[in-house]
Amino acid sequence: MDHQVSLPTSTTTGFIFALRCNHTMIDGAGLSLLLKSLCELACGLHAPSVPPVWDRHLLTVSASEARVTNTHREYEDHVESNALAAGEPLVSRSFFFRAEEISAIRRLLPHDLRNTSFEALSSFLWRCRTIALNPDPNTQMRLTCIINSRSKLRNPPLPLGYYGNVFVIPPAIATARDLMEKPLEFALRLIQETKSSVTEDYVRSVTALMATRGRSMFVLAGNYLISDLRHFDLGEVDFGPWGKPVYGGTAKAGITGFSGVSFYVPFENQKGETGTVVAISLPLRAMERFVAELHGVVNVFKR
Q: 55 catalytic, yes or no? A: no
Q: 111 catalytic, yes or no? A: no
Which of 256, 271, 199, 249 is closest to 94 using CA atoms?
249
The C-alpha atoms of residue 257 and residue 234 are separated, in whole angstroms, by: 24
Catalytic site residue from 23, 55, 136, 201:
23
Q: What one-character DSSP code corresponds to residue 232?
A: S
The C-alpha atoms of residue 139 and residue 116 are separated, in whole angstroms, by: 28
Alpha helices in the chain (DSSP H): 28-42, 99-106, 117-133, 176-181, 184-196, 200-213, 284-302
Catalytic site residue from 3, 178, 233, 238:
238
The C-alpha atoms of residue 68 and residue 163 are separated, in whole angstroms, by: 25
DSSP string, 61-108: --TTT----S--GGG-S------SPTTPPEEEEEEEEEHHHHHHHHTT
Active site residues: 23, 238
